[in-house]
Amino acid sequence: MSIIKVLVVGSGPAGYTAGIYAGRANLAPVIFEGNQPGGQLTQTTEIENFPGYPEGIGGMEMMDQLRSQAERFGAKVRSRNIESIDLSKRPFVAIDDHGDEVVAETVIISTGASAKYLGLADETKYQGMGVSACAVCDGFFYRKKDVAVVGGGDTACEEALYLSTLCNKVYLIVRKPFLRASDVMKKRVVNTPNIEILFECNVKGLFGDGVVEGAHVVRAAGTEEEDHFDIKIDGFFLGIGHNPNTEFLKGQLELLEGGYIKTDGASTRTSVEGVFAAGDVADPHYRQAIVAAGSGAKAALDAEHFLNEHSEL
């Protein structure tokens, strides 16, 4: 039975960068890309804030380049998903979606976090054409335009405040009659002139010819004051949080509030020796490609150091 030195579960900037660094260290990493090869960035039409691309680059193209770079240094990339993994003892044993067994000395988890959506068919229809779950990633494309953010917590308020510095107007659509955000965030939003809060409102759909041009909104649904109206917007941002993709771990690692994997200080070490976490799956704050790539490099270096200290296998 062959044992993989470094198993990378998940792709995207974190997984592929881990593969690049582990490959250059002659660790022959194996990357299981998961259900979304390349991660969430493959749904982004253009990336302008990743260093080295002064003219910008398409998300799919950048992920293809990262994957090719990892393969150049010896990483093996498998278009499969890890369904389960036993972290109770080393070597670790994982089962992929073909039922095959994968045995590894170390594991780097880079499965990312999935944005929460409202469940509207239009969110899929206009994905990348006006619908986004990351204001920092895509807000630049909506300079001097009108946009909407859905949500009433700190995440939504942060998105709205960021967009208010770029956009002409920001609608903050809140289903409750109040904001759930912290007092500081509430004050900032309320005191920002170009943010309009729509309380007790729900989005029923989006409309536009190929791109988002507006949203259908209902206020006080199910009451005598129910009111239907449309708002004209060019961008529709989800600010209702993310779900870290950790289901396959089945509670074997210590998690932070919100389900993100807890790492040890500035390292990528998790609560299980030999298991490391990189990218959005362990990052409740930044969720940026460049940060994920950096953590992927750290995870590979941490895995290499661990293997050097535990060479008994």
- Residue 137 annotated to the active site: yes
Task: Please say whether the beta carbons of 212 and 232 come within 8 A.
Answer: no
* Selection from 280, 236, 248, 215 nearest residue 133 by Cα: 236
Distance between CA atoms of 228 and 204, rounded to whole angstroms? Answer: 9
Among 134, 157, 167, 201, which one carries the catalytic annotation? 134
Catalytic residue among 64, 100, 138, 167: 138
The total of other beta-carbon atoms located within 10 Å of residue 163's CB is 27
Catalytic residue among 122, 137, 167, 302: 137
| Spatial contact of 14 and 280, defined as CB atoms under 8 Å apart | yes
Report the chain's terminal Cα–Cα distance, integer Å: 12
134 has catalytic annotation: yes
Residue 167 falls in the annotated catalytic set: no
Positions marked catalytic = 134, 137-138
